[in-house]
Structure 1
Amino acid sequence: MDGVCEDAIATEKPGEAILGPATNDDQAQVVCPPDAKPWFMANFASVNRPALGKEYMCLLRAWCALESANGFEVGKGNKAKTSAPKPALLNTWIHAGRAGRVKKMPVVSDADTFAMEMWAWWASLQPEWRDVDAAGRREPEREVRDGDWGSALEVRGQNGMLSVVACLCWWGDVLGSRTTPNAHSWLRLVHDVTWVCEQLVVE
C-alpha cells in the first residue's frame, strides 16, 4: 500500500494496544500548510492533537495533503444523501459555525454510542465496491477496485473530510485506556479514514 503513513497502518491483535505513544518529536508533528486558506487554518488548529498518537497524526497529515491537492477549496463537490445520519454532536458543531466560531470543542459523553454513530455514518459514505462493516467490528478491506469513490467522498472544504477528522479528534479525546474495545474501534476507523484520504489524493 502506498501512502504517506503506510508504517502506521498496523494489524490489530486481541488484547494488544497498538496506539502510538504521545510524542513531541519532529516526526509526530504536523504543520499547517503555509498556503492554507483561513477556514482550514482555524479548523486545523482545533484538531491538531499530537497527544492522540502517531496514527492520528498520520491521519491529520493525510487530510492536509488531500485538501492541499484541491487548493483548499471551500465547498467543492455536492452534498450527497447517505443512508445514515451524521453524529448528532457533529451536526451541533456545524450549525454553531465549526472551529471558526466555536471556542469550546465538543465533548463526547458516551464513547460507545458515538462509535456506533461514526461507523454507521462512515460506512454510508463509502462507494458500493468497498466492504466496510457499518458496526465497525472488523478491519475494512483496503483495496481499490473499479468504480469511482462516489459523490459523498468527493466533497472538499468545510463540508468534506474535516467533519470525519473532527469527530475522530473528539472521540480520541475521551478514549482513556488504549486497550479497550472502544479504543481499538477508534484506531480501526483512524486507519481507514487515513487510507481513504491517501487514495483520494492519488486518484
Structure 2
Amino acid sequence: MRAEVKGTKRKRAERAGEEVEDEDNYGSEGEEEDDDDDEERELTPTPAAKKPKKRGRGKQTALMEGGVPKWAADGRVALLEGGGGEDWARLVNIWWAYEKAAKFLGPVSKGEGKRYRPKEVSGWISRARSGGPHPAVTDVYAFAAQWWVWWVSINPAWRERVGDRLAKAGEGDWKSVAQTGPNGMLNVLICLRWWYDTLKNDASEIVKWKEAVDDVEWAMKGIL
C-alpha cells in the first residue's frame, strides 16, 4: 500500500516539475505511468450521481375513489356541511365542476393570493385543511369586511369598483381569480362557509352573506 501511495506522489511531483530523488522512493521498480494514473483514479472517490428533480404542479395528496384528491373531497364535505341554501349549494357545484375540468391540479397561474387574505386561512392550511373545528372567528363583521377587501383585491382590474364592492359587468381576463387546486378558489369558498356558520342564523346578516355568494358565483360563471 505504501508503494502505491509513493507512486502517486511521484506522479504528482513530476507533473508539478519538482525534482525526483529516486525511483524506489515513489513506487515499484519498472512501474509505468499509466498504472500511476489508474491508481490515482482508484484513490479518488467518484461523486454520487444526483437524481434529477421531479418537476410538476405541486404535491398532491392521496387520491380517493374515482381519482379525486383527498383535499378536494374533504373540502367539498366541509363546504356543504351545515346547509346554506340553494344558492350556496349551486356555487359549490360550480366550484366542483371547475376543479374537475382542471383535473384538480393547480394553481393555473400565480395570483395575488395572500396580501389581504383573512389570517384564519393560513391557520387552516397549516392544519392540512382538516375538517375539525372552525377557526376562531371572534368578530364576524370584521371577518366579513376583510373577506371583501381580499375578494376585491384578487379580482381583475377591469371589474369596476363600486365603493368597497364590484360591479357585475364587463369582461376580460380572469387569470387573477381563476385558481384551481388546494390553494385556489377553495380558500375563497371556505371563508364564506366560516362566515355563514358564525352568523348563527342572523337573518339580516345572512342577506349580506348571500350578496357575497352571488358575486362569487357571477365570477365563477365568467371563468367557466
TM-score by length of 2: 0.64
Q: Percent identity?
A: 29
2:147 paired with 1:124 = no
> Which of the pair has more CA radius of gyration?
2
Matched residues in 1 for 2:187 and 2:195: separation?
Answer: 12
**Structure 2 counterpart SS, 1:52:** coil
Q: CA deviation at 1:89?
A: 0.8
Q: Residue 110 of structure 2 aligns to which amino acid in structure 1?
A: K
> Conserved in 1, the CA contact under 8 Å of 2:117 and 2:147?
yes
Structure number with higher relative contact order (C-alpha < 8 Å, ≥ 6 residues apart): 1
The aligned counterpart of 1:141 is 167
Cα distance 1:168–1:48, how it changes in 2: closer, same or farther (>3 A)?
Answer: same
Q: CA deviation at 1:131?
A: 2.1
The aligned counterpart of 1:54 is 86
1:106-131 CA deviation, whole Å, 9 max, x = no partner?
24221110011000000001111112
Cα distance 1:132–1:107, how it changes in 2: closer, same or farther (>3 A)?
Answer: farther
The aligned counterpart of 2:120 is 89
Q: Residue 193 of structure 1 aligns to which amino acid in structure 2?
A: V
Matched residues in 1 for 2:207 and 2:109: separation?
Answer: 32
Q: CA deviation at 1:47?
A: 1.4
The aligned counterpart of 1:158 is 182
Matched residues in 2 for 1:97 and 1:133: separation?
Answer: 36
User: What RMSD in Å do the two structures reach over aligned CA positions?
Assistant: 2.3
Which consecutive residues of structure 1, in runs of 5 or more, have no partner in the other structure?
Answer: 1-32
The aligned counterpart of 2:193 is 169
Q: Residue 71 of structure 2 aligns to which amino acid in structure 1?
A: W
> Conserved in 1, the CA contact under 8 Å of 2:71 and 2:129?
no
Which consecutive residues of structure 2, in runs of 5 or more, have no partner in the other structure?
Answer: 1-64
The aligned counterpart of 2:45 is none
Q: Residue 218 of structure 2 aligns to which amino acid in structure 1?
A: W
Matched residues in 2 for 1:144 and 1:36: separation?
Answer: 34
Q: Residue 173 of structure 2 aligns to which amino acid in structure 1?
A: D
Matched residues in 1 for 2:161 and 2:208: separation?
Answer: 13
> Conserved in 2, the CA contact under 8 Å of 1:50 and 1:57?
no
The aligned counterpart of 2:222 is 199
TM-score by length of 1: 0.70
2:110 paired with 1:79 = yes
